């Protein structure tokens, strides 16, 4: 299941420039990815990972944004000692806003497709 909805690069960017290098190892990130993907599916009650190939690009973008933000927050939470004053708070607030708005949009979907304008 790891890295179906987003990439490790997107997740690391969401954690900010001062993220702990040890946290960014492949094994830890893959676990965070699995947890984030499971969280998104649980909250939205939809099997996004199983059906990812058939989704529209726009929906994939929202899923990537949410998942990478969840992972970014997990990275910051794991070790925030490298961040400047209030930097970790700002990153967490930014990611939380992206997650909240994205989840709201995904919960309201009636199908896996976006409508043409």
Q: Both tokens of residue 94? A: 């930014």
Dist. CA 68–CA 42, nearest whole Å: 16
CB 83 within 8 A of CB 40: no
Residue 13, pLDDT score: 96
pLDDT(109) > 80: no
pLDDT(57) > 90: yes
**6 against 113, higher pLDDT:** 6
Dist. CA 94–CA 80, nearest whole Å: 15
Q: Burial letters for 9-37: b for 16+ Cβ neighbours within 10 Å, e otherwise?
A: ebbbebbbeebbeebeeeeebeebbeebb
Residue 117, pLDDT score: 63
């Amino acid at each position: 299941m790891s890295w179906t909805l987003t990439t490790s690069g997107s997740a690391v960017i969401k954690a900010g420039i001062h993220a702990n290098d040890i946290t960014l190892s492949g094994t830890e990130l893959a676990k965070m990815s699995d947890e984030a993907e499971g969280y998104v599916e649980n909250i939205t009650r939809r099997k996004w990972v199983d059906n990812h190939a058939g989704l529209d690009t726009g929906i994939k973008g929202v899923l990537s944004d949410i998942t990478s933000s969840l992972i970014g927050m997990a990275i910051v939470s794991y070790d925030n000692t490298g961040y400047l004053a209030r930097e970790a708070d700002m990153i967490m607030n930014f990611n939380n806003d992206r997650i909240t708005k994205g989840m709201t949009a995904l919960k309201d979907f009636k199908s896996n497709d976006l409508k043409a304008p």
